Amino acid sequence: MNNTIVKMQDVKKVYHQDSVSEHALRGLNLEVCAGEFTAICGPSGSGKTTALNIIGALDTPTKGIIEVEGKDLADLSKTELARMRLNRIGFIFQAYNLIPVLSAFENAEFVLMLRGIPVKERKEKVRAMLEKVGMADMGDRRPDQLSGGQQQRVAIARAVVAEPALVLADEPTANVDSKTADSLLDLMERLNKERDVTFLFSTHDHRVMDRAARVVTLTDGTITEDIRR
């Protein structure tokens, strides 16, 4: 059985602005298997975030094929892509992207609500997940009442509470201190091992790279190194 969850074939991304073309990805070929804990690293401008956005169907490639769970994203309608993002992919953003007017509990619950999960079931799932991320006592606080590390814990809870097949994490430790970064990575490693959630990071943080079972290095939009441990 093929357990490839992400497959990129000759993926190119070119941005055009004021008659200038910027090549963010230059023929990327990458396969990620289910259950992997993989870091895509490289300096700013290497194409890390672009790669994650294309895999998550938040952006489209200029050329090439992207498959997620065996489905070619180019063959899916906007509705089908939205359904895939909702049901199969969790997102953790550098800027947290929590909804300011909702409490931590409501933010974590939001994806389950969009999925139409019954109230009792989703409340139980969110309570259990907030407990797991160490935020059980802060569920009633809004994002502006939480520290950066606490907001990122809520973002992780939101990303994984719906049990997606794949979590895409864009610089998840960029805005937190070393101690908080380590505790967040402990949490994500535990979720990877206990729930077999596939994590794919975009990062230039050595703490993330040190934890990753696989480190893929991008330089100017191409893979220059791919190390499995």
Whole-prediction pTM: 0.90
Q: Does residue 47 belong to any structural domain of this protein?
A: yes
Q: Does residue 53 belong to any structural domain of this protein?
A: yes
Specify whether the CB–CB gap between 90 and 166 falls below 8 A. Answer: yes
Radius of gyration of the chain (CA): 17
- DSSP β-ladder status, 214-219 and 37-41: parallel
- DSSP β-ladder status, 89-92 and 71-72: unpaired
Number of independent structural domains in the chain = 1
CATH number for the domain spanning 55: value is: 3.40.50.300
Q: How many CB atoms lie within 10 A of CB 39?
A: 26
Q: What is the pLDDT of residue 2?
A: 60
Q: What is the pLDDT of residues 144-161, one digit of tens each?
A: 999 988 998 899 899 989
Q: Which two tokens stand for residue 186?
A: 């402990």
Q: Does residue 206 belong to any structural domain of this protein?
A: yes
Q: What is the DSSP letter of 163?
A: -
pLDDT, average across residues 194-209: 91
pLDDT level of residue 183 (50, 70, 90 thresholds)? confident
Q: Does residue 38 belong to any structural domain of this protein?
A: yes
Domain that holds residue 227: 1-76+197-229
Q: Does residue 132 belong to any structural domain of this protein?
A: no
Say how far apart CA 108 and CA 77 lie, in whole Å.
Answer: 27
